[in-house]
Chains A and B, each alone.
Chain A
């Protein structure tokens, strides 16, 4: 069937138009990591001593350390936001419109996921740009090298959002998503502190962090920003993306009945 690319373009175009129409969403997505970077990191700078760990080859400031984690945070919040808007979409009915297209459902969901990821990645670059204005910079080529890592991380977290949206019944439950998904994922990761520091206080928490796919998104981004490739993180993220993607397709399968209460 012709038009596969047309569907992709239309879905991404619609995501983009929605994004343009929701300027407050864009500002919120930027302000959140900037507060962490410019306020939280400044306060913690003195409290946290960082030794030299890969990929860094010299002492770095705490602000520099948390930039990759905050890039991943933008992807995480956007992935969850797109899950929120999927639930909202479904209530508003436009998800129905998408799902009654004659194209295969997995393709429609993938287009939706891809479109949301494009928007997420644009926001990460906006954040990196503002960080650079405050003199928190990465190697110049790192900004380009990180692009595939951001995409992959965005797809993984977007797929997680899709999975959640197929299970969440009501909009109100997003508060639960914040408490039970976003916060644990973010804090049980290497976004704010290196894992060896976590190991010092609790080996169990360290292991949890090491198993958290979000940690690997952060590390993939961190290494790519410094023009290095972290194969472990890459494999973790790719595998998690496939698993979450498969669960999402399963969750949206009309015969499975997870949708039963929602149509």
Chain B
């Protein structure tokens, strides 16, 4: 059992429509794994299953060694999530948003202010701690969400298309930062449909129509092609 994220033989359907078909994924610690797939590939369903918003009838999910079905609380306690849609309460300040999350995760009250300061420092957001989330721009909201997802020191970080709607500078800042986190030991699963967010050294999984088409190291997989062309060829052939 790895300390990272492991998914085996996961299937899920919405009535007659199959969303995921025997998906298996293994992401060890200290790895940045990009889950690349066109729209409708099943990325959001996978995210919902990994965060237990949905439960699949078949297959297993282990987060940091904890079985999500048998020990959901331990598994969710080791999981940090940044959803595609913002989950900030725009009426609350940055600090209030983080404090609310800390309470939802049962962090000891005495530790919370220190952890919030440290998390905001890492993302260079400390000076905005007392601003309302509604007043922040898209990039700063994302940074706040990333800071929040790290507040409880998760071992696995899940990001569902975290750069949607951000400008180029904010995108690359977030992408760089999460790569650094992986280098420091975190297990990261980053779902995207944008090939330029993936680096050659990253693990890459291509999801298409609910199935894993291929996986391996991005640089090795793409060979002499650009990743974008390689990805189009993969999903084009399959289509």
Chain A residues near B (Cβ < 8 Å): 1-4, 6-7, 9-11, 13-14, 17-18, 21, 92-94, 96-104, 108, 254-255, 257, 259-261, 263
Asked whether, in the complex, the Cβ of A96 is within 8 Å of the Cβ of B103, the reply is no
CA distance A92 to B108 in the complex (A): 28
| Residues of chain A within 8 A of B92, CB atoms compared | 14, 17
Q: Which of B89-106 contact A (CB under 8 A)?
A: 89, 91-92, 96, 99-101, 103-106
- Whole-angstrom distance from the CB of B222 to the nearest CB of chain A? 32
Q: Pick from B50-58, B177-185, B190-198, B211-219 the stretch touching chain A.
A: B50-58
CA distance A7 to B73 in the complex (A): 14
Q: Pick from B3-11, B75-83, B229-237 the stretch touching chain A.
A: B75-83
Contact sample, A vs B, 28 pairs, CB 8 Å cutoff: A3-B105, A7-B106, A9-B103, A10-B104, A14-B100, A17-B91, A17-B92, A17-B96, A92-B85, A92-B86, A92-B87, A94-B88, A96-B87, A97-B83, A97-B87, A97-B101, A100-B52, A100-B53, A100-B81, A102-B105, A103-B73, A103-B104, A254-B53, A254-B55, A255-B55, A260-B14, A260-B54, A263-B44
Considering the complex, give the chain B residue whose CB is closest to the CB of A108: B104
Seed contacts A3-B105, A10-B99, A102-B72; 14 additional CB < 8 Å A-B pairs: A4-B106, A6-B109, A7-B103, A7-B104, A10-B103, A14-B100, A18-B91, A94-B87, A96-B85, A97-B83, A100-B52, A102-B73, A255-B55, A259-B53
0/1 interface trace, chain B 31-64, chain A, CB 8 Å (1 if under): 0000000000000100010011111010000000
| Residues of chain A within 8 A of B87, CB atoms compared | 92-94, 96-97
| Residues of chain A within 8 A of B22, CB atoms compared | none
Asked whether, in the complex, the Cβ of A103 is within 8 Å of the Cβ of B14, the reply is no
Asked whether, in the complex, the Cβ of B51 is within 8 Å of the Cβ of A100, the reply is yes
B74 on the A face (CB < 8 A): yes
B107 on the A face (CB < 8 A): yes
A98 and B104 in contact, given A92-B86, A263-B48 (Cβ under 8 angstroms): yes
Considering the complex, give the chain A residue whose CB is closest to the CB of B103: A10
| Residues of chain B within 8 A of A92, CB atoms compared | 85-87
Chain B residues near A (Cβ < 8 Å): 14, 44, 48, 51-55, 57, 72-74, 76-77, 79, 81, 83, 85-89, 91-92, 96, 99-101, 103-109
Considering the complex, give the chain B residue whose CB is closest to the CB of A22: B91
Top 8 A-B pairs, shortest CB-CB distance: A3-B106, A10-B103, A93-B87, A101-B104, A255-B55, A102-B76, A102-B73, A93-B85
CA distance A98 to B83 in the complex (A): 13
| Residues of chain B within 8 A of A96, CB atoms compared | 51, 53, 83, 85, 87
CA distance A100 to B149 in the complex (A): 11
A6 and B91 in contact, given A93-B86, A100-B81, A101-B76 (Cβ under 8 angstroms): no
Partner of A102, one of B14, B44, B74, B108: B74
Considering the complex, give the chain A residue whose CB is closest to the CB of B57: A255
Considering the complex, give the chain B residue whose CB is closest to the CB of A8: B103
| Residues of chain A within 8 A of B89, CB atoms compared | 14, 18, 94
- Whole-angstrom distance from the CB of A111 to the nearest CB of chain B? 9
Q: Which of A21, A94, A98 has the most CB of B within 10 A?
A: A94
CA distance A9 to B107 in the complex (A): 13
CA distance A257 to B54 in the complex (A): 7
Asked whether, in the complex, the Cβ of A21 is within 8 Å of the Cβ of B91, the reply is yes
Asked whether, in the complex, the Cβ of A100 is within 8 Å of the Cβ of B54, the reply is no
| Residues of chain A within 8 A of B57, CB atoms compared | 255
| Residues of chain A within 8 A of B100, CB atoms compared | 10, 13-14
